[in-house]
A and B are shown apart, each in its own frame.
Chain A
Amino acid sequence: MSDDENLETEAPEEEAVEEVHNDHDEHPFPRIANGFMAVFGWLVFFTIIEVMAILQEFSFAVTMFVLFSIAFVKLWFIAAFFMHLRWDPPLAYRTASVPIFFLIVLFVAIGLTTPGATDDIRTICGF
């Protein structure tokens, strides 16, 4: 059995369904861990950039742009590599994308609403 096959082997209790679902190996997991060391290095690098950007005293807009940009880059590194979404079937990252709509609703409809909107739930619900 090759290394790839070893890495993708499912637990024995799942063998009962393996004949039916013989395409269930979820991802060709990378065989070496060195790539993850590099990902960690990039995450540290971006954290340092993040802190240095703050110490530069940019304007509000520039600071927010830098911080959000770096946060989303770090999010991508962690999700794609550490959480294996890069190697998982599309269902995994499609599922992970579901809350984006609701988060947009939260941030746009509540986070940026008129003053007092979050103070009184009856205002939000309209009754």
Chain B
Amino acid sequence: MSDDTHAEHHGTASPMISALGMMGIMLGLTLAVNGYPAFWFVFLVGLFVLLTGFIMWLSEYFPMTSEENAEIETYHPAFASLSTRKFGTWIFLLTEMMVFGTLLSAYLRYRAAAGDDWVPAADIIRSHLVFGVINTMALLLSSLTVVLALYAAKRNDHKATTRYLSCTFLLGALFLVIKGFEWWEMKNGHFWGEHCVVKDISHHCVAPKYEHGFWLDTSLEGSTFYITTGTHGAHVFVGLIALAYLILKANRGGYNEEYHDTLELFGLYWHYVDIVWVFVFPFFYLF
């Protein structure tokens, strides 16, 4: 798509090859576990293609000099008002929206089908709702600190940038620690007393089936709760890994009024994780 008036395009097939590989993996896995074992072959081919694309990308990226990087087109004529990095980040977030949309719609489906038999995780967590509220506040506050870090970078205030990013890291870590504690307590049935297995909002006993704890394989309620909150927690964890890199770079003065795109793009991801929690919290903790 590039022409003489634009900088050089990547010209690499690696992303397309990787995407095809991922498609093969998903298609093969989905059909193979649903009664079509022959599709394990498609799964394996997809895995091979994905790894091929990934290795191709590494072999192209690492030998590249800074000058060559500078030549890569940062604005594509088809979407000239956004940088390719930002546009790509949004496309990535769209796929993430579908991941959590799938989880939440499945949860809705199962819950609607179960009717009154469904004992929501919210009834189990109710007596310890404070953990969910603290986690909500932690994520909201961490979104604010990411924005403030970006501002600090634009002011060339390296110390403040590092400080705000470190706060974000600590808040994200706090979220995971509380989440881990909450899971442990629920798994072992510590959230309810000996005399009543699970109490609803009016302190009525509602679910003797959780006498021995509430875990992934306890029931559909458990599966949907742990898979959804676990997937969200995994996203927080990945964000923390990225944050560790950002903190190290910010500490060396890596972000300033000219170089701050990475912080903004990371912020998009982190805010997206926050948005997911905005829906997970009422779905699983309140109702």
Contacts and interface: CB of A to CB of B under 8 A. Distances in A.
Interface of A: 6-7, 9-14, 16-17, 20-21, 23-24, 26, 29, 33, 36-37, 39-40, 43-44, 47, 50-51, 54-55, 57, 63-64, 67-68, 70-71, 74-75, 78-79, 82-84, 88-92, 95-96, 98-99, 102-103, 106-107, 110-113, 115, 117-118, 120-122
A57 B201 contact: yes
Nearest to B148: A33
Contacts of A111: 104-106, 108-109, 112
7 contacts: A39-B144, A40-B143, A75-B279, A89-B81, A110-B106, A121-B30, A121-B34
Contact of A95 (B73, B74, B90, B281): B90
B282 A40 contact: no
Contacts of A44: 137, 140
A71 to B, nearest CB: 5
Given A13-B69, A14-B74, 19 more contacts: A12-B258, A13-B66, A14-B83, A16-B7, A16-B71, A24-B81, A26-B86, A47-B136, A47-B281, A54-B201, A78-B278, A82-B146, A83-B268, A83-B272, A90-B81, A92-B90, A95-B91, A103-B101, A106-B101
A80 B137 CA distance: 19
Interface in B266-287: 267-268, 271-272, 274-275, 278-279, 281-282, 286-287
Contacts of A43: 140
Q: Which of B94, B136, B286 has the most chain A CB atoms inside 10 A of its CB? A: B286
What are the 9 A-B residue pairs with the smallest beta carbon separation, nearest first?
Answer: A111-B105, A89-B81, A13-B70, A111-B108, A67-B282, A106-B105, A40-B144, A99-B97, A103-B101
Interface of B is mostly: helix
Nearest to B264: A84
Contacts, number: 171
A110 B257 contact: no
Interface core residue of A14, A29, A102 (most chain B CB under 10 Å): A14
Contacts of B201: 54-55, 57
B80 A21 contact: yes
Nearest to A114: B113
A57 B122 CA distance: 13
**Counting chain B CB atoms within 10 Å of each CB, which of A21, A33, A64, A107 scores highest?**
A21
Contact count band on B? 35 or more
Contacts of B141: 40
A121 B34 CA distance: 7
B207 interface: no
Contact of B147 (A51, A82, A107): A82
Contacts of B104: 107, 111
Q: Is the interface of A mostly helix, strand, loop or mixed?
A: helix
A9 B257 contact: yes
B106 A47 contact: no
B89 to A, nearest CB: 10
B258 A36 contact: no
A106 to B, nearest CB: 4
Contacts of B45: none
Contacts of A63: 287
Contacts of B261: 10-11
A23 to B, nearest CB: 8
A17 B6 contact: yes
B151 interface: yes
